Structure 1
Amino acid sequence: MALLKSAVPNQNISVNPKRKKSLQKQNIWVLYVFLIPAVVLTLIFAYLPMFSNYIAFLDYDFNKGWFGFGSEFVGFDNFAKFLNDDKFYELMGRTLLYSVTMMVTTFPAPLILALLLNELRGRLFKKFVQTTSYIPHFVSWVTVAGLFYMFLTVDATGIVNNLRQLIDPSAERISFMQDASNFLPVLVISEVWKETGWGTILYLAALSGIDPQQYEAAQVDGANRFQRLLYITLPGLIPTMCILLIFQLSGLFATNFDQVFNMQNKMIRLDTDTIGVYTYYQGLVSGQYSYSAAVGLFQGVISFILIMLTNYTTKRLSNVGII
């Protein structure tokens, strides 16, 4: 009996806590090294520019110094100037209209595509669809705008007008990009085409974290595919949906500057300006640095309030938040 006991390996081998702690320290420093570039870039491009917001409270004069310490302090005059501007309500309304429309149309798109991809059984076809849907994300908005102008032009290269005349030979060629009423649909279509595939990454990652045994148990109990989707898949995606919703709602007054700026042209710019584009023209083009800084800070404060309110609401309703 003693020989049998000695032959059986000891399953309760204890590790010295000090030794275990030292091994953890040796391995974890590598992770911090990988974090250094991200932290440095965030500090340079996200936090350091925040200090320049103080010029929103000055009558900034570039000739009096780069940091504007010699400029006159005017308090909230620049903010009052924006609030009393004739374009204030127009800009706020248009920015809100664009943002709400984009959110309603683009927020469900990655979720729907992820659910469809999750139902595919052909592995090669699934990878092909994933890859082709991701590629547009890496195309710059300058290139996307050029493609849309080429497709929607009245010239012979205008594919949309060519298709319209193919269906109805008597149809007149329309210059879509020179009509402000077409600007919002173009924004929505371009955003869905460019970013839907990339947005599915988080949803597919969340889907891979759902226990397959839940699907097997539900199938044994007689649940059909729709019921499995409704009672297993969607509840498993709620945390991811809440986080993405928080970030999207925080940008209600911050439309994609690159997209709007590149899609605009001189004929429709005044009718399609958003707060972000208006800030660019007032600051870099017109040289009103203090005024544009005040407009940008005003927009940032509203975005911060929205993200905090959305985070508070989602935590109360679903116990999911970012803070």
Structure 2
Amino acid sequence: MKMQCKSCGTELPKKAKVCPKCGELVGKQKSDNLKVIAVAGLVIALIGGLLPFVQNTDVELISDAYSFMNIDVPAMWYLYMLAIVVSLVLLAVKKDMFSIIPTAISGIIFIVSFVGMNFRGYESRKLYNLHSLTDLLSNGYEGSSYSVGCGVYVVIIGLILGIAGCFIDIMKYFKKDINVDSKYMTNSINRKVWSKIYYHRWFYVMFLPVLIMILLFNYWPMLGCRYAFTKYIIRSPYYVGLLHFNTMFTNDVFFWDAFRNTLLLSIVKLILNTGAAVIISLLLNEITNLAFKKTVQTIVYLPHFMSWVVVASIFRLILSVNSSGMINQMLMGMGVIDNPIFFLGDVRYWRGTFFFINVWKDTGWGTILFLATLSGISPDLYEAAQIDGANRWNRLIYITLPALANTIITVFILNLAKVMNLFESVFVTMNDAVVNVSNVLQTYVYRKTFGSGNSDYGYTTAVGLFKSFVGMILVLGCNYASKKVRGRGIV
């Protein structure tokens, strides 16, 4: 019996240890690739470059801190970050042999900056002195005492993991050859990266404008995360260390209210939308009249294509407490209520109204995936079950729902990764009367940045950075869950 590759099904030559088509390892051999360790270490080192290198030991003076952004030559911080990014890119393009070079360079830049350069001191955005590391740690400044900050330890741990991961990873190039005749290896395996790029050069030329736009509008703004560690003043932000995060986690009750509201509104909305989409899909699947079925599908889909501004305006009109409010007039006419209810202005009703509006707008779009899955179920299964005496309810429980379960879990996992991105639907339906139950992280950042005369861009950047970190954890968790459920990740 001839062997076949488990990944692509290609017939394998005798005693082959890799697939000649896709390069997949044959059998139960394990790759000694430690790229994950290297990437994790580099990311840790990247974060460490933002944290304090020297910190005032007085808790009340937590803003008195010094880091890469305080050294006399700020360009060293950019070089350090650039070296780590280059190393990550080299790992991504599988140039592990060269990734250790920029990693080592970033370590050298860190040592030179930390030991050999002075730190700038600021007082209300004005440079007032230059401090050497020895002076700060031994003598302090104006009676203050300093210690080595957490950033130093984070950078050291990250660089050790990065260099060790890169070094151990490239050792595989010096191990015994895989003993597969080169005639069985395809050009895609033997050919060098640059030769591949040249061969497909016109595709890269077509992609170049998109790449430039992504770099300018997606990656370049990411450098702004450094302002989360500064007191932001136009043209001259100065470093305050972990002050914003300390304030956010210990003294800002509005932040925690917004965080709880974000999780509550997003998760409940996700459950309701998914459940409603499944129920409507099952009902539509039972309709035998094709014309009526398409008409209902179209009506259910249409709200998804409406702007949230339009949707909010429609429901404000329908739910109005004035005579134009159809719902209140109907309820009072039926004798259910005596006085009109301000659905979008009362903390008791706002969340329920918000969930209803979201279900009305987004459920139709979610039914597309479920209807596609239902249409793929073999009719033979239903016929066999009907012959065996199964009624419609039994066919739903034992055939339809098990076939739909994998899609439901997949859709739920994919949408769970986006729970922190709640903004537009809340922003257009909230008001000051219901801010306690409607304020989410994104609206909190918006209101704190643009809704007051004393905006603190550094603080709101810190809140946004924390939101992004939580979102990253959710995405990685959902990616892991997706691999377990459907065999492949979402990223």
User: What corresponds to 1:95 in structure 2?
Assistant: 262
Counterpart of 1:237 (choices 371, 391, 404) is 404
Deviation at 1:316, TM superposition (A): 3.8
Change in CA separation of 1:277 and 1:169 when aligned onto 2, cut-off 3 Å: closer
CA distance, structure 1, for counterparts of residue 210 and residue 249 of structure 2 = 37
Structure 2 unaligned residues grouped into runs of 5+: 1-202
Change in CA separation of 1:193 and 1:86 when aligned onto 2, cut-off 3 Å: same
User: What corresponds to 2:444 in structure 1?
Assistant: 278
Deviation at 1:170, TM superposition (A): 7.4
Q: Secondary structure at the match of 2:235?
A: helix
User: What corresponds to 2:233 in structure 1?
Assistant: 61
CA distance, structure 2, for counterparts of residue 251 and residue 217 of structure 1 = 41
Deviations 1:9-33 (A, max 9, x none): xxxxxxxxxxxxxxxxxxxxxx999
CA distance, structure 2, for counterparts of residue 273 and residue 49 of structure 1 = 26
Bigger Rg, structure 1 or 2: 2
Change in CA separation of 1:314 and 1:271 when aligned onto 2, cut-off 3 Å: closer
User: What corresponds to 1:109 in structure 2?
Assistant: 276
- Is the 1:283–1:293 Cα contact (8 Å) retained in structure 2? no
User: What corresponds to 1:20 in structure 2?
Assistant: none
- Is the 2:319–2:327 Cα contact (8 Å) retained in structure 1? yes
CA distance, structure 1, for counterparts of residue 329 and residue 228 of structure 2 = 50
CA distance, structure 1, for counterparts of residue 470 and residue 367 of structure 2 = 28
1:187 aligns to 2:350 (yes or no): no
- Is the 2:448–2:456 Cα contact (8 Å) retained in structure 1? yes
1:174 aligns to 2:313 (yes or no): no
Count of aligned residue pairs for this structure pair: 289
- Is the 1:154–1:174 Cα contact (8 Å) retained in structure 2? yes
CA distance, structure 1, for counterparts of residue 265 and residue 284 of structure 2 = 29
1:125 aligns to 2:292 (yes or no): yes
Residue identity in the other structure for 1:50 = M
Q: Which deviates more, 152-161 or 203-212? A: 203-212
Residue identity in the other structure for 2:296 = V
TM-score normalized by the length of structure 1: 0.77
Deviations 1:53-95 (A, max 9, x none): 232233233334xxxxxx3233332222211213233222222
Kindly report the root-mean-square deviation, in angstroms, between the aligned alpha carbons of the 2 structures: 3.2
- Is the 2:319–2:328 Cα contact (8 Å) retained in structure 1? yes
CA distance, structure 1, for counterparts of residue 333 and residue 259 of structure 2 = 41
1:312 aligns to 2:475 (yes or no): no
Deviations 1:252-290 (A, max 9, x none): 4x2631111110123333553111110111223343222
Counterpart of 2:301 (choices 122, 125, 134) is 134
Could you say which structure has the greater relative contact order, defined with CA pairs below 8 angstroms and 6 or more residues apart? 1
User: What corresponds to 2:170 in structure 1?
Assistant: none
Deviation at 1:159, TM superposition (A): 0.8
CA distance, structure 1, for counterparts of residue 227 and residue 285 of structure 2 = 50
User: What corresponds to 1:81 in structure 2?
Assistant: 247
CA distance, structure 1, for counterparts of residue 485 and residue 300 of structure 2 = 33
- Is the 1:239–1:320 Cα contact (8 Å) retained in structure 2? no
Residue identity in the other structure for 1:156 = S
CA distance, structure 2, for counterparts of residue 76 and residue 165 of structure 1 = 55
Change in CA separation of 1:210 and 1:62 when aligned onto 2, cut-off 3 Å: farther
Q: Secondary structure at the match of 1:177?
A: coil
Identity percentage of aligned residues = 38
TM-score normalized by the length of structure 2: 0.53
User: What corresponds to 1:303 in structure 2?
Assistant: 471
Change in CA separation of 1:62 and 1:239 when aligned onto 2, cut-off 3 Å: farther
CA distance, structure 1, for counterparts of residue 385 and residue 214 of structure 2 = 45
Deviations 1:28-63 (A, max 9, x none): xxx999999988876666555434323223323333
Structure 1 unaligned residues grouped into runs of 5+: 1-30, 65-70
Deviations 1:155-205 (A, max 9, x none): 110111111121118712232322122110111010010011111111112
User: What corresponds to 2:199 in structure 1?
Assistant: none
Larger proportion of helix: 1
- Is the 1:180–1:271 Cα contact (8 Å) retained in structure 2? yes
- Is the 1:137–1:195 Cα contact (8 Å) retained in structure 2? yes
